[in-house]
Structure 1
Amino acid sequence: MQAEGCEAWYEMEELAVMGIVEVLGRLRRLLHIRADLTRRFTELKPDVFVGIDAPDFNITLEGNLKKQGIKTIHYVSPSVWAWRQKRVFKIGRSTHMVLAFLPFEKAFYDKFNVPCRFIGHTMADAMPLDPDKNAARDVLGIPHDAHCLALLPGSRGAEVEMLSADFLKTAQLLRQRYPDLEVVVPLVNAKRREQFEKIKAEVAPDLAVHLLDGMAREAMIASDAALLASGTAALECMLAKCPMVVGYRMKPFTFWLAKRLVKTEYVSLPNLLAGRELVKELLQEECEPQKLAEALLPLLANGKTSHAMHDTFRELHQQIRCNADEQAADAVLELAQ
């Protein structure tokens, strides 16, 4: 936004705080920033205030401004449908409109009579309905006729630590079945790559893989199947039309707590969009090499299971491909009138 000419009153990094302890350590500064922004925008009196992400910070700010007669929009909906659902009442008090990437988010807000507009997902707009697998393979140096598996063990250090060994062991099992199997591993940055390489040296030193710096989208498009951690990667993989298995593990207490807080039946966005188990989710104890390999084998076979999944991925892609940027701009302009 600064590159487009917007003025920054504060650096974004000041708000990029995760974890209870970290927030408490910065609480005084965060409260000062929010109070100052409330004062500035109250004096400025914009036609519309748009809070972008950072819901724990922005929704209170939006509520402060709404009390001053300023129209407010929150872009985009936090995962209130999944956990801490009572936040919906504060969101309703604080905003005139919530913009949602996903259709089931609007359905959730409708139940509570909170104004919400489904605008589609920007990633769905950016990705083609029918990606060119062979072109992606040419970029990565993968033969057109080889079987190809993408491993995406996550972008966070804790995820890479928890998942990489089992993902690599899974690839070893699959290569026994498919000796021509090409394994591509896109890693988000040099730090994650170094971390992954250390784990591979211990677990699977003889397993040949293509390590990629970034290029996750190309890896997904090029592959016959993907094994990945949950999160945005699962949505991107769906849009790449790459059949997948979701494997995830976290520390036992964290998982115990998550099971009690999270209100959804599934963890991956493809399943949440489909309203059923479209892709296999193997969590905690089930996230182990033998079960992961068994789930991936029919996908690598590129038969009826893969084709049915591909067709459903395409249908879901069309559902959320709605010119999200234009829809968001329209919503702001309509509220400003």
Structure 2
Amino acid sequence: MSERPVRIGMVAGEISGDILGAGLIKELKRRYPNAVFEGIGGPLMIKEGFKTHVPMERLSVMGLVEVLGRLFELIGIRKKIRQYFLDNRPDVFIGIDAPDFTLGLEESLRKAGIKTAHYVSPSVWAWRQKRVFKIARAVDLMLTLFPFEAKFYKNHNVPVAFVGHPLADMIPLESPQLVARQKLGLTTGSIASSQNVVALLPGSRSGEIHYLGEIFIETARQVIAQNPEAQFLLPYVNEDRKQQIEEIIQRLAPDLPITLIQGQSREVMAASNVILLASGTATLEAMLLKRPMVVAYRMSAITFFIMKRLMKAPYIALPNLLANKALVPELIQAQASPQNLSKSILQRLVKNSENDALNREFLNIHQSLKQDASDKAAIAVSRLIDHDAR
């Protein structure tokens, strides 16, 4: 524990980054009780004493094309936060994910003599691999969540620490379905003992729901046509997203047996038998919860055209990337049709040996990621802060 005053700058761009940032702040406070944490962060980071200069939501934009409409605002925010840290120099600056925003900021601050770290590797191993040279210029330390990422950086001589994933520490190795349903208040009625509960997670952002909302609701309608006992749970992050989802349901399937639940997406997934979800961090949560899943994603045609030509990795879903094989179905763009999605869901609602084998694969990966990540990340950052400290 160090009593010396420490200033730590951070920028997180979305919900997953807020979770990681909060865990890291908590562990760093144990080592530096007098530390000041500031920059851009979300509610969980703020709860740990973080001061945010810009609402984190302003950085949450999906897709290459969609960013263009907000480009000048994002440039302005980055310029403002860069100047702030140049005028109020932190002992270390940590960019948490959001690489298109944070890496340029890190490179600029590092050139000014400020130590920098990046928490959560960009998917540089999957596409635009030449970004690793920019990363080497931008960071003194890369903190990776997955072991295959650390190997990539070592091969390119970038200082790196594999810390594991905080979600693997937070989520127990077993997540009983009944306990989750009790937490959600689903102990009575048709859902209580059902073995046909499907969680629908089209994403937390307006753009994701724009592309996947109608497809997911139409998929649910087709599932129930084949399996009348099916029930659906759908979590939403705020009232705006709830209204967006309700409008789709009323228009396409007003009689659908679907329960909307505010927040609690992890409990919703744990309470389900099968999960239909957008590609992203939620696929990791679903894997850690040991639930069969079907992964879907859609984006603008132009964004898809560009990404398809830049992609190097054979998979997009984290369970498949971690296993280096197709553990779960990935249905992207035109393949993500209600017909294809409903067929995959119905297959996984049937209990069989394939689901048991999948559960064992998920458990092995969970154990490999369970590394006490926030503590290991804090140790690595502390070494960076205290190196040559006077």
**TM-score, normalised to structure 2's length?**
0.78
Change (3 A) 1:36 1:15: farther
- The alpha carbon displacement at 1:122 in A equals 1.0
- Asked whether the 8 Å contact 2:59–2:74 carries over to 1, the reply is no
- State how far apart, in whole Å, the 2-side matches of 1:3 and 1:229 are: 28
What's the CA shift for 1:14? 9.4
Cα distance between partner residues in 2 of 1:149 and 1:295: 12
Whether the 8 Å CA contact 2:145–2:165 is kept in 1: the answer is yes
Instruction: Tell me, yes or no, if structure 1 residue 222 matches structure 2 residue 266.
Output: no
Does the Cα contact within 8 Å between 1:146 and 1:182 map onto a contact in 2?
no
Separation of aligned partners in 2, 1:15 and 1:191 = 16
Judged with a 3 Å threshold, the aligned counterparts in structure 2 of structure 1 residues 6 and 218 are, in CA distance, closer, same or farther, namely closer
Matches of 2:213 and 2:308, distance apart in 1: 23
Quick one: structure 1 residues 32 and 210, their matched pair in 2 at CA, closer, same or farther if it must change by over 3 Å? closer
**Letter of the 1:83 counterpart:** W
Q: CA deviation at 1:51?
A: 3.5
- The 2-side partners of 1:167 and 1:57 are apart by 31
Q: Name the CA distance, whole Å, in 1 between partners of 2:252 and 2:262.
A: 21
Among 79, 82, 85, the alignment partner of 1:31 is: 79
Q: Unpaired runs of 5+ in structure 2?
A: 1-44, 62-66
Task: Call closer, same or farther: CA 1:26–1:327 in 2, change over 3 Å.
Answer: closer
Alignment of 1:155-170 (within 5 A): 155-170=204-219
Q: 1-side partners of 2:77 and 2:181: how far apart? A: 48
Q: Deviations over 1:231-253 (max 9, x none)?
A: 11111111111100012222222
**Equivalent residues in 2 for 1:99-110, closer than 5 Å:** 99-110=143-154
The 1:3/1:225 distance shift into structure 2, 3 A limit, reads closer
What's 1:171 paired with? Answer: 220
Quick one: distance in 1 between partners of 2:302 and 2:270?
Answer: 36
**Residue in 2 aligned with 1:11?**
54
Unmatched runs of 5 consecutive residues or more in structure 1:
none
Query: Which residue number in structure 1 is paired with residue 132 of structure 2?
Result: 88
Aligned pairs for 1:240-319 within 5 A: 240-319=289-368
Correspondence for 2:171: 127
Equivalence map 1:132-147=2 (5 Å) = 132-140=176-184, 141=186, 142-147=191-196
User: Structure 1 residues 289-298 or 20-29, which shifts more?
Assistant: 20-29
Cα displacement string for residues 68-123 of structure 1 (whole angstroms, at most 9, x for unaligned residues): 55543222322322333222112212322100111221122122111111101111
The question of whether the paired residues in 2 share the 8 Å contact of 1:249 and 1:284 is answered with yes
The answer (yes or no) to whether the contact 2:78–2:105 under 8 Å persists in 1 is: no
RMSD: 2.3
Whether the aligned pair in 2 keeps the contact of 1:187 and 1:211 (CA below 8 Å) is yes
Q: Which amino acid aligns with 1:86?
A: K
Report the CA distance between 1:53 and its aligned residue.
3.6
Is it true that 1:197 corresponds to 2:255 in the alignment?
A: no
Q: Secondary structure at the match of 2:85?
A: helix
| 1:305-324 C-alpha deviation (Å, 9 max, x unpaired) | 21111111111111111100
Distance between the aligned counterparts of 1:188 and 1:37, measured in 2? 31
CA distance in 2, matches of 1:301, 1:224: 9
Distance 1:182 1:111, change over 3 A: same
The whole-number CA distance in structure 2 between the counterparts of 1:250 and 1:59 is 24
The 1:130/1:84 distance shift into structure 2, 3 A limit, reads same
Deviations 1:184-239 (A, max 9, x none): 11122211111111111121122111111112111111111011111111111111
CA contact (8 A) 1:164 1:199 kept: yes
Alignment size in residue pairs: 332
Identity %: 44
Given that residues 168 and 200 in structure 1 are in contact (C-alpha distance below 8 angstroms), is that contact kept between their aligned partners in structure 2? yes
Secondary structure of the 1:151 match is strand
Mapped partners of 2:203, 2:81: distance in 1: 32
**Aligned-residue offset at 1:165:** 2.4
Q: Secondary structure at the match of 1:263?
A: coil
Using the alignment, how far apart are the partners of 1:11 and 1:71 within structure 2?
Answer: 22
Contact 2:115–2:140 under 8 Å retained in 1 = yes
Output the amino acid matched with 1:24.
F
State the match for 1:206 in structure 2. 255
| Alignment partner of 1:76 is 2:120 | yes
- Residue pair 2:195, 2:273 contacting (<8 A) in 1 also: no
Distance across 2 between alignment mates of 1:237 and 1:270: 9
Secondary structure class of the residue paired with 1:170: helix
| TM-score, normalised with respect to structure 1 | 0.89
The answer (yes or no) to whether the contact 1:186–1:213 under 8 Å persists in 2 is: yes
Deviates more, 1:114-123 or 1:27-36: 27-36
Conservation of the 8 A alpha-carbon contact between 1:137 and 1:143:
yes
Contact 1:38 1:61 survives alignment (8 Å):
no
**TM-aligned CA deviation for residue 286 of structure 1:** 1.5
